Amino acid sequence: MLSIIQAAGWPIWPLVACSILALALVIERFVSLKTAKVAPPKLLNEVLTVAQTSVPAPGIVNQLAQNSALGEVLASGLRTLNTNPRSSDEDVRGAMESTGRAVAHRLEKYLSALATIASAAPLLGLLGTVIGMIEIFGSQAGASGNGGVGGNPAQLAQGISMALYNTAFGLIVAITSLIFWRYFRARVDEYLLTLELAADQFARHLNSLKKRKEN
């Protein structure tokens, strides 16, 4: 690997930095977007059971908010009713929507950076290719000026390897980053849909619970 980097020349170093950054972002997103941290499958049913007859105490609501992103959204609706038991359905939904937007922003964190790397890597590879071509033409021009016929073979080979290695490495980084960006984008969209549906169901439950208490 080191010999390839040396053959590719200095233009490959920005691509190496991009590949390291992309790897770090991918690992971070895999850790942050675990189902247990975002939307545990059984959490909604558990919260509906706990809030079957009354709104849970603030201590339980705080524990729910620390459970996951879904717990944070559901807890915001419960906090609204704990603060003001006469809160309307619109108030409860508004609180959960505000929290949901903050959660969505957190789930989409670093995805734009990964998309930028996927877009920039081919251009960086192209830059290395152009520089390699300049090396080739430079060696040919030097040989022609000295009355040579075939140019400097070593410099010619170095220019070709620089061009090809940078092109290949740029495409590898771009394709890999694009694949993971699309994967995480689809995963985040799925999570957001799950949060939206759960929040809507929970808001309807809280509204019916409040009506039962009023009657």
What lies within 8 Å, CB to CB, of 93 at 6+ separation is: 77, 199, 203
pLDDT of residue 110: 94
Q: Which domain holds residue 134?
A: 2-214
pLDDT of residue 149: 45
Give the span between the Cα atoms of 48 and 41, in whole angstroms: 13
User: Going residue by residue through the chain (215 aa), what tens digit of pLDDT does each one get?
Assistant: 566 666 666 778 899 999 999 999 999 999 999 999 999 999 999 999 998 888 889 999 999 999 999 999 999 999 999 888 888 899 999 999 999 999 999 999 999 999 999 999 999 988 888 887 877 776 665 555 555 445 566 667 777 777 788 888 999 999 999 999 999 999 999 999 999 999 999 999 998 888 777 66
How many residues belong to the chain?
Answer: 215
Count of structural domains within the chain: 1
- Backbone torsion region of residue 110, taken as left when φ is above 0, otherwise alpha when ψ lies between -120 and 50, otherwise beta: left
What lies within 8 Å, CB to CB, of 189 at 6+ separation is: none
From the CA atom positions of the chain, what is the Rg in Å?
28
pLDDT of residue 3: 66
What lies within 8 Å, CB to CB, of 37 at 6+ separation is: 68, 69
